[in-house]
């Protein structure tokens, strides 16, 4: 065990700390993708790997706090594996509403990735994409993000209200934990 960020213990990495690639062989010492020695801290200029499930990016030491043990620091692949026991939400349910790269919500649909990211992080990035800005679900997510789900919206429209209710119940359903 090596001491890592904030004095925590660092678990032996399963992947390159800089790019998150898993070594081709267990005895490999150099990352085949970025050339860094396995276990070495990332360079300051590197784009660090993010978790596709909770969207967190590793810290400067190339690791995240373990979900199972808060005194332990783990690499990205170990972190992703921990989601088996510590799921972000009910992704099985969410996948059942998926149609290709879209998700069906009530009488609307929206890009699946945008909706899932919103359910996990509470943030929606419609950016300058006009189609996204005019999507009822995306509008509802942005409104809830800005004002919460209970505040009356100025110039409110029945369709927005309905879409907000659909998004709010989806959020509750996604994070519902079966006892």
Query: Which among 21-29, 118-126, 127-135, 160-168 is the span making contact with Zn ion, rule CB under 5 A?
Result: 21-29
Asked whether position 117 contacts Zn ion by CB under 5 A, the answer is no
Residue 9 or 21 with smaller CB distance to Zn ion: 21
Residue 34 or 126 with smaller CB distance to Zn ion: 34
Task: Collapse the DSSP code of 145 into the 3-class scheme (helix H, G, I; strand E, B; otherwise coil) and give the result.
Answer: helix
Asked whether position 77 contacts Zn ion by CB under 5 A, the answer is no
Least distance (Å) from Zn ion to the CB of residue 60?
A: 15
Query: Distance between CA atoms of 150 and 58, rounded to whole angstroms?
Result: 34
* Interacting positions 51-70 with Zn ion (CB under 5 A): 51, 53-54
Burial 138-162 (b: 16+ CB within 10 A, else e): bbbbbbbeeeeeeeeeeeeeeeeee
How many angstroms from the chain centroid is the CA of residue 71? Answer: 22
Query: Distance between CA atoms of 44 and 52, rounded to whole angstroms?
Result: 22
For the chain, report the end-to-end CA distance as a whole number of angstroms: 36
Asked whether position 18 contacts Zn ion by CB under 5 A, the answer is yes
Contacting residue, 5, 9, 23, 33, with Zn ion by CB under 5 A: 33
Contacts 24+ apart (CB under 8 A), 156-162: 160/136, 162/106
What is the phi/psi pair of residue 14, to 5°? -90, -15
Least distance (Å) from Zn ion to the CB of residue 66?
A: 11
Asked whether position 16 contacts Zn ion by CB under 5 A, the answer is yes
Residue 53 or 77 with smaller CB distance to Zn ion: 53
Size of site (CB under 5 A) for Zn ion: 11
Contacting residue, 31, 38, 163, 170, with Zn ion by CB under 5 A: 31
Indicate the pairing of strand 9-10 with strand 2-3.
antiparallel
- Which residue ranges make up the site for Zn ion (CB under 5 A)? 16, 18-19, 21, 31, 33-34, 36, 51, 53-54
């Amino acid at each position: 065990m090596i001491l890592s960020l904030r004095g925590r213990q660092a678990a032996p990495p399963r992947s390159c700390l800089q790019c998150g690639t898993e070594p081709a062989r267990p005895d490999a010492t150099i990352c085949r993708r970025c050339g860094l020695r396995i276990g070495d801290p990332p360079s300051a200029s590197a784009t660090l790997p993010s978790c596709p499930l909770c969207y967190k990016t590793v810290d400067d030491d190339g690791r995240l706090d373990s979900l199972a043990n808060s005194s332990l620091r783990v690499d990205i692949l170990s972190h992703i594996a921990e989601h088996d026991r510590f799921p972000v939400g009910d992704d099985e349910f969410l996948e059942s509403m998926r149609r290709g790269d879209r998700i069906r919500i009530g009488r609307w649909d929206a890009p699946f990735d945008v909706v899932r990211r919103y359910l996990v992080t509470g943030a929606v990035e419609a950016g300058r994409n006009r189609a996204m800005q005019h999507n009822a679900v995306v509008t509802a997510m942005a409104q809830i993000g800005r004002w919460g789900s209970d505040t009356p919206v100025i110039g409110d429209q029945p369709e927005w209200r309905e879409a907000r209710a659909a998004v709010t119940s989806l959020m509750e359903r996604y994070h519902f934990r079966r006892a």
